[in-house]
Amino acid sequence: MKFDKPATTNPIDQMKVVGQPLDRVDGPLKTTGTAHYAYEQHEAVPNHAYGYIVASSIPKGRVTGIDLTRARRAPGVLAIVTAQNAGKLGKGKYNTAALLGGPTIEHYHQAVALVVAETFEQARAAAMLVKVDYARTPGTFDLSQATASATKPEDEEADTAVGDFAGAYAGAEVKFDGRYTTPDHSHAMMEPHASIASWTGDKLTLWTSNQMIAWGAGDVATTLGVPKENVRLIAPYIGGGFGGKLFVRSDALLAALGARAAKRPVAVTLPRPLIFNNTTHRPATIQRIRIGATKDGTITAIGHESWSGDLPGGKPETAVAQTRLLYAGANRMTAMRLAVLDLPEGNAMRAPGEASGLMALEIAMDEMAGQLGMDPVEFRIRNDTQVDPEKPERPFSQRQLVQCLRTGATRFGWDKRVARPASTRDGRWLVGMGVAAAFRNNLTAKSGARVRLDREGRVTVQTDMTDIGTGSYTIIAQTAAEMLGLPIDRIIVQLGDSSFPVSSGSGGQWGGNSSTAGVYAACVKLRDTIAQKLGMNPSDTVFEAGNVRSGQRSESLASVAAGGDIVVEDSMEYGDLSKRYQQSTFGAHFVEVGVDAATAEIRIRRMLAVCAAGRILNPKTARSQVIGAMTMGAGAALMEALVVDKRLGFFVNHDLAGYEVPVHADIPHQEVVFLDETDAMSSPMKAKGVGELGLCGVAAAIANAVHHATGIRVRDYPVTLDKLLGSMPSLG
């Protein structure tokens, strides 16, 4: 099915099942421990061995020798894989560095060997006996020192310009120029990267924790040099991904190599330190933002520059993306520069680009509002736009940013905020409120599904879409139930298997809308097939209560399939609507903090998110996504930072003891409001993404609240008490 015209009325608009706050259909499995994750396939693979990765202890250089003598003699050892005996390996499309290093070493903790043994403990013990000799070469590990050598990325839109930014900024009545830094961040998902590999002849089955099944199967096949049809990836449940599992990592490749070498299925999981240094992370940024405005607060010039780093062949953190679209201003400039760093690979992490960019932009907007003497909410509203500022002929399909800000201000009690910083006390606490706009582009991707109607009147949906804790099982079941007039308990959803039709996969906030649109397309085809089989006119058939009706005639769906299952397959493809209309999601975050007047300890007291993100397919699962994102934003604001050893080239705090993330005690009451919205330009579902929007802007809202509480402006994240103590207001 091709979506190339705005959506009109369709069965989803009934909203009998779609749009309802239903419990997760996979909830009982997860709460009883019967949802089997990648590393728990004991029934499918009952006699597997275990692999343990040996990782590089240098960040850059060469392996000059590996002594496996003691490891091979260790109890239980079945095989040891290194680059010397793994055979010729290709390089997948989606990883920057090789997943198995040697002789070249590209980053710290790059895998250099896998020890396979009967038990996990035996594999780990033997891995400690592997002796690796290295020749280390100098590397670059400090972004601030590498900016001078940073270059323009190959992306043709790395730099953009409209009007005369330099002239307009120089002539502006009020000017602001600020520099901000964001640190490297790690995906700290609950489930580690984990895989079990099993070979049957020349065919590989790989159970792995991966968000994008088709991408992963293709990369595994390319790396191993086997036909893609010989690789089957299965990921029925995923315990969090956040972008860190968009691409297969060393656990998957080495499980496959280990299983081939040991002639046994092999399970490999990455210990937590290897998740930080062996897999991907959100790269650090240095950002400069300049804003020029008239005295009444109208932006006349806005410029945003960003520097980030990655391994050779990597890509930048696109921190300027939202600045191109979020606020009006006739004279504009954005620029990105990419430095070569010999740190572990930088790549996508929840809301890549916007998450980091809004951490800076939304502080800059508050700082400019302060110079103008304007309320921060009103300054943002003053500079709203209903068209793409770089291409004014291109309107937004939906844009309710102003409504998000006004609704949030009312619900949060913004009118009670005293404008002057450090003016509000609650006992020992200095109290402040902060606001930030939220923005994330709406992306769509081709997505397919297979639907089967059986003689019991049940419908099974199969698609390689994954559920990373987001509720994919539930919204897909809701879509099929709505389309076919069935209760949700008559829908069976099967996900995460490369033998199923290729979906959009989970990531980039495109998964929910795109995957359900693919299911919609398959269900339209099934409806038409059923109508034609019954001799009904597909255009006037009604599917409800387990029956199909046309005029006075009604048949049960079970009777239609009495002679055998009816199976159809289709996909949703997209035309040029996204080029003709700018499709984005918007929101507003409001935060209240308390800062201890004596210790500068920061405590979040209240959080509110107001989101405009198209039709909300399930308000309960959507709210869960947003409050999780808000929590992640709190971590980015107040505690999360990978500390780089700039001499030895690795992330020092590479576990959850040293890399702090929020816990329940850090998070207060969170309120989420979804504005009523449908977007006919997005898909037949009239939905958009929401899971990453909930993160965008949160950190800046917290930083702005801390400034309002204390009068101290912190521009280098995270906002920690050591950055406040020296300048705290007098206790008197």
Q: Which residues are catalytic?
A: 692
Contact 513/507 with Cβ under 8 angstroms?
A: no
Strand partners, 491: 459
The C-alpha atoms of residue 692 and residue 695 are separated, in whole angstroms, by: 5
Backbone CA torsion sign across 259, 263, 264, 265: positive
- How far does CA 564 lie from the centroid of its chain? 41
**First-to-final CA distance of the chain:** 69
- Whether the CB-CB separation of 506 and 241 falls below 8 Å is answered with yes
**Structural element, H or E, at residue 222:** helix 213-224
Q: Which residue has the tokens 């991408």?
A: 215
Q: Indicate the helix (H) or strand (E) that contains 381.
A: helix 376-382
User: Around 224, how many Cα atoms within 13 Å sit in the side-chain half-sphere?
Assistant: 29
What is the dihedral sign for C-alpha 619, 622, 627, 633?
negative
CA distance 375 to 394: 30
> Which value, to the nearest 10 degrees, does the dihedral of the CA atoms of residues 214, 248, 313, 642 take?
130
Contact yes or no for 359/640 (Cβ under 8 A): no
Q: What are the Cα distances from residue 286, in Å, to 121, 281, 324? A: 43, 16, 18
Cβ 415 vs Cβ 591: under 8 Å: no
Q: Dihedral of CA 719/723/726/727: which sign?
A: negative
Q: Do the Cβ atoms of 658 and 650 come closer than 8 Å?
A: no
Q: Helix (H, G, I), strand (E, B), or coil: what is residue 260?
A: helix
Q: Are 360 and 329 in contact (CB under 8 A)?
A: no
Residue 588 near residue 405, CB atoms below 8 Å: yes
DSSP 147: G
What residues have CB less than 8 Å from 556, skipping those under 6 apart? 457, 546, 547, 548
What is the Cα–Cα distance from 204 to 219, expressed in whole angstroms? 13
Whether 662 and 634 have beta carbons less than 8 Å apart is answered as yes
Residues 6+ apart with CB under 8 A from 721: 599, 600, 601, 602
CA–CA separation, 468 vs 30, rounded Å?
12
User: Residue 357, SS3?
Assistant: helix
The DSSP secondary-structure symbol of 364 reads H
Closest CA to 533 of 93, 8, 106, 541: 541
Which of these, 346, 385, 493, 374, lies nearest to 435 by C-alpha position? 374
Residues 476 and 483 sit within 8 Å (Cβ to Cβ): no
Token pair of 403, please?
């409504």
Query: Where do runs of H (alpha helix) occur along 565-688?
Result: 577-580, 619-638
Q: Where are the alpha helices (DSSP H) in 21-60?
A: 27-31
Q: Which token pair is 573? A: 């493809």
